Structure 1
Amino acid sequence: MKIAPVWKQIITESILKTAIRTPSQFTLPVGSLRFALEQMCRIFPQNRDIQVRALRLSGIRAEELKPQKESTQLILHIHGGAFFLGSLNTHRAFLSDLAARTQMQVIHVDYPLSPEHPYPEAVDALFDVYCTLIDQGIQSKDIILSGDSCGANLALALTLKIRDEQMPQVSGLMLLSPFLDLTLTGNSIRNNRKHDALLSPEALEAGIAYYVPAGMDKADPKVSPLFDDFKGLPPTLVQIGSKEILLDDAERFKKKAVEAGVQVSYKLYTGMWHNFQMFHHWFDEAERALADIAEFAHQCDAD
């Protein structure tokens, strides 16, 4: 039986709010939350046309997701999960479809999570991974840096570190449902609290408490890259759903980046919640987002 799109969305949001958002409002053991998220993400079908190979980069576990045809362009993706959740397992299906749609190699990194590894361990590890790729002979112009949620935070922080260390810069940056302000000052944190089907302010607060060391200012640009200077950033794609509590993070980034002379492609997707891109098999807006990612990636390749 075919379900009307409006009812499909209502049912999906209800399930997500019950299974993910509501439990995230309580203090539960980190290990239990990690296990539960991995089990939930098994609903996403993996693209079987994509070859998946385990590897290690600078001592970090990673996966290479590669389409059948050869490609010189590489997408280095950093998964989300409020700095303490997420893994190679939770994002493998989505990234297999990203590799298929773009026909580009995708590298997915299992970076160190908090609270076991607070700032700056994740950023330092990711910078080491990037340096390893460059040392292996991969040209920076052939690398697109990507991240979702807190992974977008780390992707932006990594791009800024690459700039500040005067390393060769990536050809493009993709920020999906970005979590960039750890002070939680965006109005959408409150305004969209009841509308975002996936993410709660409490989950963000827990992640911040795990990630930011005691005594460190949460407004420090090193952990809240929204407050950094964006001069010298590569062309950047920003995707955000209209129901996301992080909507203001994306909008404020766009404004600051444009003022800094960055080429920004900003996309707002009506009726979508946090990390909606992972639901592209079921919703037209999410499918359009995946197509927009591929279009942006191909433009970076052409440039």
Structure 2
Amino acid sequence: MRMCILALAASAAIPAASAQHAVPTPPAATDGKAGSEPFAAQQAAANSKPGPRQRPAETIPVPVEGVSPAAQALIAAPFPPHFNADPKSAAEWKDLIERRAALIRAALPAMQEKMAVTVQPAVIGGVKAYIVTPKSMPEANKNRLLVHVHGGGYVFAPGEAALPEALMIAGFGGFKVICVDYRMPPDFPYPAAMDDAMAVWKAAVTMADPKNMAILGTSTGGAMTLAMIHRAKQEGLPLPAAIAPGTPWSDIADTGDTYKSNEWVDNILVTWDGWLGRAARLYAAGHDLKDPQLSPIYGDFSGFPPAILTSGTRDLFLSNTVRTHRALKRAGVAADLNVYEGQSHAQYMGNIDAPETREAFTDIARFFDAHLGR
């Protein structure tokens, strides 16, 4: 059975491809923001069916060469219905958060079975978490432990909805994983998420040798992975032996080339001017968006552990990922960068049955195996 985690969170199903639509003309604007609401509506209408992703004056076909049929289906999917969500109150945010979480939770039992892992709720360092353990663990991983921080724009994927990536790295890689269920807005803005992640890290390094440990996460989780290293350095805490910040939200502001070049092409995030930017401001709660704990790209990368980063050519955060990779390399850190053809944001983990998903997590597992002690 095909299990499309990101697709489930975006829309209930992927219908058959349809004919192309006329490309709308964007409103005139000197700052790129004026008229964004009507333009968003035009773009949503133009991209309401599966098929080539459209933006003004061009149509970009779904890539075929080197892309599996399962990945092509993800790439061709319409925009998620929540992409331009604009909750006006805490209650509206919570309703949107729960509706998205429910879709993910519904897919978890089959996913857990397929990955052959167990999930145990826990409280670690005073923080809610889940311990994910593969039913069959390689001998080399017996003394290894991963800490996972989930994605979701600092607002989505509470509770068990945080688990998909942790299940994948545990299943594909054979690692024991702590998945952090950190606090989030609207009730708990910055720095609650980071405080929780660091509390778990401080407790986790008493459970295993840091030389045998890694931190990973995608999107927001990727940014938090980087921010956790910045903060661990500042606080004199042990560092992990490796990290895997997948397509990290390393610049939380609308800064970076692909925030524009991949706008309306990325069919997961779509545009910073939708729910994404609103979530950024909600989480930041008035703090400077260039604070390295919010946008870790502005921090000092010297002394970072080896890192493996993953993105896609249509990812709105491709620039975030590339800038992070460059910052690590310039600081003398060993860093790998994997970029998948045609993929939008985090689609390398969008379908557990896609060969690209197995490939991505196998690469991460091999990277960890090369850098973690035993």
Out of 174, 178, 185, the position equivalent to 2:248 is 178
Q: Is the 8 A contact 1:72 1:104 kept in 2?
A: no
Partner of 2:261: 191
Q: Is the 8 A contact 2:127 2:182 kept in 1?
A: yes
Q: Is the 8 A contact 1:79 1:87 kept in 2?
A: no
Partner of 2:119: 52
Partner of 1:40: 103
Tell me, yes or no, if structure 1 residue 223 matches structure 2 residue 289: no
Task: Tell me by how many angstroms 1:186 deviates.
Answer: 0.7
Deviations 1:170-229 (A, max 9, x none): 111111121110222111011111221111312220111111122x22112221110111
Partner of 1:12: 74
Partner of 1:289: 360
Out of 317, 321, 342, the position equivalent to 1:271 is 342
Partner of 1:144: 214
Partner of 2:278: 206
Tell me, yes or no, if structure 1 residue 153 matches structure 2 residue 223: yes
Distance 1:64 1:26 in 2: 32
Q: Call closer, same or farther: CA 1:6–1:142 in 2, change over 3 Å.
A: closer
Distance 2:77 2:245 in 1: 26
Distance 2:238 2:292 in 1: 21
Task: Tell me by how many angstroms 1:68 deviates.
Answer: 2.4
Q: Is the 8 A contact 2:214 2:243 kept in 1?
A: yes
TM-score (norm 2): 0.74
Distance 2:227 2:196 in 1: 12
The 3-state SS of whatever aligns with 2:83 is: helix
Partner of 2:5: none
Deviations 1:140-193 (A, max 9, x none): 112100111111111111111111111111111111121110222111011111
Could you list the structure 1 runs, at least 4 aligned residues long, displaced by more than 6 angstroms after superposition.
3-7
Task: Tell me by how many angstroms 1:16 deviates.
Answer: 4.9
- The range that moved more, 175-184 or 34-43, is 34-43
- Aligned residue type for 2:269: L
Identity %: 22
The 3-state SS of whatever aligns with 1:25 is: coil
Out of 248, 254, 270, the position equivalent to 2:325 is 254
Task: Tell me by how many angstroms 1:292 deviates.
Answer: 0.9
Partner of 1:240: 311
The two structures, once aligned, show a CA RMSD in angstroms of: 2.2
Distance 2:183 2:78 in 1: 26
Deviations 1:48-104 (A, max 9, x none): 221111110122111101012452111100001111111242242442232122111
Task: Tell me by how many angstroms 1:9 deviates.
Answer: 4.6
Q: Is the 8 A contact 2:68 2:356 kept in 1?
A: no
TM-score (norm 1): 0.90
Distance 1:93 1:260 in 2: 32
The 3-state SS of whatever aligns with 2:112 is: coil
The unaligned stretches of length 5 or more in structure 1 are: none
Q: Call closer, same or farther: CA 1:261–1:8 in 2, change over 3 Å.
A: closer
Q: Is the 8 A contact 1:270 1:285 kept in 2?
A: no
- Aligned residue type for 1:175: P
Q: Greater CA radius of gyration, 1 or 2? A: 2
Q: Call closer, same or farther: CA 1:96–1:137 in 2, change over 3 Å.
A: closer
Q: Is the 8 A contact 1:280 1:287 kept in 2?
A: no
Q: Call closer, same or farther: CA 1:243–1:58 in 2, change over 3 Å.
A: same
Distance 1:139 1:61 in 2: 22
- Aligned residue type for 2:94: G
Distance 1:224 1:277 in 2: 23
Distance 1:54 1:101 in 2: 21
Q: Call closer, same or farther: CA 1:228–1:93 in 2, change over 3 Å.
A: closer
